[in-house]
Amino acid sequence: MKIPLRHSMMSRSSARLFRPARHICSSSGAKRALGTSIPKAATPATSPSPSPPTNPEGGEARPRRPLTKEEREFLSSALRVNQAGELAATLIYTAQTPLVTRSDPHLKPLMKHMYDQEVGHFDTFNSLIAKHRVRPTAMYPLWSVLSAGLGWGTAMMGREAAMACTEAVETEIGDHYNGQIRSLLEMADRMERGGGGMGPELKELVGTLRRIRDEELEHLDHAVEHDAKKAEPHWLLTGFIRLGCKGAIYASERV
């Protein structure tokens, strides 16, 4: 099948966000807190570079001011909520796939494609929260149960309801990532006006968020192409799920 490709409670340690790698400790604490496999953080640098830092284009980097407390808190909560959201996405597809593909075997490649992308997103944020020592949300166990239940429940209602679930979730998540990208670009603008640059790490984060946002919107398109709008009652189902997503995002950013 051809698949179209488009689409504060800040901890002391998280105050180290986006500082040089030599400040980053082992990810074992985050691994224990998550109870899941997190790729090991990059090997810390052992000594500072003797020469001036350079930007990705090869020129000398402009001096960057340190992040403000608000900026560090924003980045911590952004990574925390994104990691929780991507965990939920993998669990929704894990629960939906056996039921959906039993009644509609032709959807196997599509379900696998979307699941694989969600696993990639989850791995990305696992790495980032471990690298920057951001604590995961305390709601992690509850989200795990609820998202698996949501996937199973909608798949039991049929393919249309399962697709409506994806439509609702991805609508909210697309908006959520767009909001984060907007905030980061505003942060970059403030840094530029202050005479400094955004720095390669934050630039890379914006690129990562844009890529993941596009993949989420691709999932939304797939869901609509596969009869999400035919779910009954579509307005109630998607409205309920979207409300749940908003609540989960709000809580995961804070707790």
- Interface residues toward Fe ion, by CB under 5 A: 86, 89, 118, 121, 216, 219
CB of 124 to Fe ion, least distance (A): 9
**Residues 92/147, Cβ–Cβ less than 8 Å:** yes
Which of 219/226 has CB closer to Fe ion? 219
Please identify the residue of the shown chain whose CB is closest to the bound Fe ion: 121
Is 172 marked as a binding-site residue? Answer: no
CB of 120 to Fe ion, least distance (A): 8
The neighbouring-strand residues paired with 60 are 54
Is 219 marked as a binding-site residue? Answer: yes
Report the Cα 208 to chain-centroid distance in Å: 9
Identity of residue 67: L
Which of 30/89 has CB closer to Fe ion? 89
User: CB within 8 A of 252, min separation 6: which ones?
Assistant: 80, 81, 84, 85, 137, 139, 143
C-alpha 159/C-alpha 164 separation (Å) is 8
Is 132 marked as a binding-site residue? Answer: no
Is 176 marked as a binding-site residue? Answer: no
C-alpha 146/C-alpha 161 separation (Å) is 16
CB of 53 to Fe ion, least distance (A): 32
CB of 84 to Fe ion, least distance (A): 11
Which of 60/116 has CB closer to Fe ion? 116
Is 216 marked as a binding-site residue? Answer: yes
Which of 71/118 has CB closer to Fe ion? 118
Tokens of 73: 């808190």
Which of 134/168 has CB closer to Fe ion? 168
Q: Tokens 């340690």 — which residue? A: 13
CB of 94 to Fe ion, least distance (A): 13
Using omega within 30 degrees of 0 as the cis cutoff, is the peptide bond preceding 233 cis? yes
Tokens of 18: 């986006």
Identity of residue 215: E
Is 60 marked as a binding-site residue? Answer: no
| SS3 state of residue 38 | coil
Binding residues: 86, 118, 121, 170, 216, 219
Binding residues for Fe cation: 86, 118, 121, 170, 216, 219
